[in-house]
Structure 1
Amino acid sequence: MISENYQLQLQKVGKKIDQLVREQSDFEKLIMEITADKNERAILMLVKKIGVLHQNQSLAKIGLKQEQIIELLYKYLGSSHVDEIYENFKSISNFSLEQLLTQLYELIGLENVKQQVHDLMDYNKIQYLREKKGLKRSNKTLHMAFLGNPGTAKTTVARIIGKMYKQIGLLSKGHFIEASRTDLIAEYQGQTAIKVKRLIQRAKGGVLFIDEAYSITENENSDSYGKECLTELTKALEDYRDDLVVIVTGYPDLMDQFFQSNPGLKSRFNTFIHFNDYTLEELLQIFQYTCEKNDYIAEKHALEKVKEVLSSQLKEKDEQFANGRYVRNLFDDITLNQSKRILQKGVEQITKETLMLITEEDVVVYLNATISN
């Protein structure tokens, strides 16, 4: 009901703009396309046209603000959905294949992953060229399984692969849709298949990335919704194999159970890439990279303490240890300690160098807090 209200408000806004703006704007037509099937092209066109009207003051002339229309769009579609479309649009870029390979090789660690992705690109590039020359193309699907623990850059690699496949002509869009069980499973019987179909339609031409895919079937004996989802997903893997890449991820053992839950599911995936946990030195490199990226410099003794923290975590790690994600959280905690330390000295003493420097004290405070907890 609330969604219908926002839909009506959007349609009224579109009609008002079309009536009062002299040039042919087609706002109402775009909004009808959006409300009919959440057309991503129409959403992008609407946002672009709103920006143009805002710049030339046309919106002000008819008593509307750019923010009002965007807010309505957010309320109707959901802000995360609109932002995702816009970010995908920005990120599907003019990057060349060579630039994308550079992005891949700049990632810390993951040597086996980089080599496998590079080989995969070479193989699929040749298959695409064979097809263009009228030769038979391999029957292998583009779908993949990424096996590994959390925080091992699986999402980052998946995004790069989508853009690479776009560059070599295997995907029409190359955009990236991330999903989990909640995005696939509905609340009522019979609705899950519809939900999966809609998600597949959004992902067509790009990458559908399903994190912790094993959660779809974790209650296999009692969860009919999970079975319904998997049946629809397995069908889509075959139906849209020419312009869709589905990447499923999760812990290796649990993913084995996932593939065994549906006959023929595993055969839809031709590429299995294992993401190893980061070594101590690689985790330290990730911390230093995070510092540099955010305009911080960690002094030598601070890095030694960080290494101690990481070494201790690696010795005690369980399946919940989140690799690179843990390092980013550690960085946030340490920079919070740095902020407290700086302010205790008084604002008049703060310099650019002071704001950038992470000291041993900042890490020791983190260590002491960890021990006390």
Structure 2
Amino acid sequence: MISENYKHQLIKETKQVDVLLGQTSTFEQLVREIIYEQNDKAILELIKNLGVLTKIQSFPNMEKKQEQIFELLYKYLGASKIDELFQDLKESSNVSLNAFLNQLNELVGLENVKQQVRDLIDYNQIQHLRVKNGLKKSNKTLHMAFLGNPGTAKTTVARIFGRMYKAIGLLSKGHFIEASRTDLIAEYQGQTAMKVKRLINRAKGGVLFIDEAYSITENDHSDSYGRESLTELTKALEDYRNDLVVIVAGYTSLMEKFFESNPGLKSRFNTFISFSDYSLDELVRIFIYTCNQNDYIVQEEAMEEVRNVLQTIINEKDDQFANGRLVRNLFDDITLHQSKRLSKLTEHITKESLMLITKEDVPKNYTLKIF
């Protein structure tokens, strides 16, 4: 396998750098942690150390070595992986807590969620200050459960939590990793525990967000892999509680069943936050925000049609109501209709026309496409 070749080359190149610098396996050890433990922190540490190599004047070939290792790192891990880590680091470093609170406040609706988040920040800041002053802190964990229907910004809030906790010193990195059943369960017997350990190792110092967490135990009577995964995850919740936040999320009723699937699981989570469905006015605000972000202007008549469509969907909604995702799908369909309308024009299409959404662009009988 080609990645095996890159793996061996990485070890070889970093070993040579250690020899040139006369040090004991510093670079090589970081690479081995990256390869065998999937340690994201080691990746960032290696990149940081590589950055200073060219400043070492006594080794003129060091710049070439640096480039070779960077190239191998990108090939072995993939550019998207490294870019994601850099982005998380960039977004979470040197940013004040107030900046993240502003991000939270800018979200449409979710007033009860925002208040709970602010309360948690206040509480944990005081607990952190108690530790700094040699006092005992509460034994509460940082782990949380987000309960509610899809499209209610649970993932967005989870990301903000990691950055907030980094800003106040509760987490060492504040990065965000999203996982599903496939990330937590292996294909073969006995491999699941190791897969969970590797995922936890990547997430340490930040937030591990598991959406639809109940899928881990969806076949509770026959799924031994799911039980193995949950056992390992439950252990990690306690072992790494001081520098890891695990957030599980999903439908309220199914999450209740999830917590019943493993003795002691629910006690590992001290915070339960309910995300309510958006109201009509909030869905309209999300639609307008989406249009503004994408350089569209909505005619008043078209906005009234959008409002009517959303009201009809709310009236007919069931447990699968998609909230913000529904608005995004509606926006995509409206812009598709706008494109079809504009493509039929024979005259020159102006910038204003490209931006304008009319009543004609709002699809009729849209509820038929949702339910």
Provide TM-score, normalisation by structure 2.
0.86
In the alignment, the residues of structure 2 paired with residue 372 and residue 220 of structure 1 have an alpha-carbon distance, to the nearest angstrom, of: 34
What residue identity is the alignment partner of 1:264?
Answer: G
Unaligned runs of 5+ in 2: 20-25, 55-59
In the alignment, the residues of structure 1 paired with residue 222 and residue 190 of structure 2 have an alpha-carbon distance, to the nearest angstrom, of: 16
In the alignment, the residues of structure 2 paired with residue 36 and residue 179 of structure 1 have an alpha-carbon distance, to the nearest angstrom, of: 20
In the alignment, the residues of structure 1 paired with residue 70 and residue 162 of structure 2 have an alpha-carbon distance, to the nearest angstrom, of: 31
Q: Give the CA deviation at 1:371.
A: 5.5
- Asked if 2 retains the 8 angstrom alpha-carbon contact of 1:96 and 1:167, the reply is yes
| Change in CA separation of 1:227 and 1:167 when aligned onto 2, cut-off 3 Å | same
Say which SS state the counterpart of residue 321 (structure 2) adopts.
Answer: coil
Determine if the alignment matches structure 1 residue 262 to structure 2 residue 251.
no
Bigger Cα displacement from structure 2, 303-312 vs 203-212: 303-312
| Change in CA separation of 1:349 and 1:251 when aligned onto 2, cut-off 3 Å | same
Matched residues, number: 358
Determine if the alignment matches structure 1 residue 360 to structure 2 residue 359.
yes
| Change in CA separation of 1:139 and 1:200 when aligned onto 2, cut-off 3 Å | same
Q: Give the CA deviation at 1:89.
A: 2.1
In the alignment, the residues of structure 2 paired with residue 46 and residue 354 of structure 1 have an alpha-carbon distance, to the nearest angstrom, of: 50
In the alignment, the residues of structure 1 paired with residue 175 and residue 279 of structure 2 have an alpha-carbon distance, to the nearest angstrom, of: 31
Q: Give the CA deviation at 1:138.
A: 0.6
Q: Give the CA deviation at 1:173.
A: 0.8
Identity %: 68
In the alignment, the residues of structure 2 paired with residue 18 and residue 344 of structure 1 have an alpha-carbon distance, to the nearest angstrom, of: 65
User: What pairs with 1:12-31 in structure 2 (closer than 5 Å)?
Assistant: none
Say which SS state the counterpart of residue 3 (structure 1) adopts.
Answer: helix
Aligned to 2:217: 217
Determine if the alignment matches structure 1 residue 248 to structure 2 residue 248.
yes
Q: Give the CA deviation at 1:160.
A: 0.7
| Change in CA separation of 1:46 and 1:105 when aligned onto 2, cut-off 3 Å | same
Q: What's the C-alpha RMSD, in Å, of the aligned pairs?
A: 3.2
User: What pairs with 1:285-300 in structure 2 (closer than 5 Å)?
Assistant: 285-300=285-300
In the alignment, the residues of structure 2 paired with residue 221 and residue 79 of structure 1 have an alpha-carbon distance, to the nearest angstrom, of: 41
Q: Give the CA deviation at 1:154.
A: 0.2
Aligned to 2:329: 329
In the alignment, the residues of structure 1 paired with residue 16 and residue 139 of structure 2 have an alpha-carbon distance, to the nearest angstrom, of: 52
Question: Deviation digits for residues 59-117 of structure 1, max 9, x if unmatched?
Answer: 9x98x999x965x6455335553343233223223221111111111110101101111
User: What pairs with 1:224-239 in structure 2 (closer than 5 Å)?
Assistant: 224-239=224-239
In the alignment, the residues of structure 2 paired with residue 76 and residue 282 of structure 1 have an alpha-carbon distance, to the nearest angstrom, of: 44
Determine if the alignment matches structure 1 residue 163 to structure 2 residue 163.
yes
What residue identity is the alignment partner of 1:172?
Answer: S
In the alignment, the residues of structure 2 paired with residue 74 and residue 350 of structure 1 have an alpha-carbon distance, to the nearest angstrom, of: 43
Bigger Cα displacement from structure 2, 326-335 vs 242-251: 326-335
Aligned to 2:189: 189
In the alignment, the residues of structure 1 paired with residue 228 and residue 29 of structure 2 have an alpha-carbon distance, to the nearest angstrom, of: 36
Unaligned runs of 5+ in 1: 20-25
- Asked if 1 retains the 8 angstrom alpha-carbon contact of 2:92 and 2:163, the reply is yes
| Change in CA separation of 1:369 and 1:328 when aligned onto 2, cut-off 3 Å | closer
Say which SS state the counterpart of residue 367 (structure 1) adopts.
Answer: coil
Aligned to 1:340: 340
Provide TM-score, normalisation by structure 1.
0.85
What residue identity is the alignment partner of 1:148?
Answer: G
Bigger Cα displacement from structure 2, 306-315 vs 181-190: 306-315
User: What pairs with 1:1-373 in structure 2 (closer than 5 Å)?
Assistant: 1-8=1-8, 10=10, 34-41=34-41, 43-44=43-44, 73=73, 76-78=76-78, 81-346=81-346, 349-363=348-362, 366-367=363-364
In the alignment, the residues of structure 2 paired with residue 372 and residue 170 of structure 1 have an alpha-carbon distance, to the nearest angstrom, of: 45
What residue identity is the alignment partner of 1:227?
Answer: R
In the alignment, the residues of structure 2 paired with residue 247 and residue 119 of structure 1 have an alpha-carbon distance, to the nearest angstrom, of: 17
Question: Deviation digits for residues 173-196 of structure 1, max 9, x if unmatched?
Answer: 111111011000001111111011
Say which SS state the counterpart of residue 364 (structure 2) adopts.
Answer: helix
Aligned to 2:22: none
In the alignment, the residues of structure 2 paired with residue 13 and residue 313 of structure 1 have an alpha-carbon distance, to the nearest angstrom, of: 59
In the alignment, the residues of structure 1 paired with residue 156 and residue 324 of structure 2 have an alpha-carbon distance, to the nearest angstrom, of: 12
In the alignment, the residues of structure 1 paired with residue 263 and residue 37 of structure 2 have an alpha-carbon distance, to the nearest angstrom, of: 33
- Asked if 2 retains the 8 angstrom alpha-carbon contact of 1:10 and 1:69, the reply is no
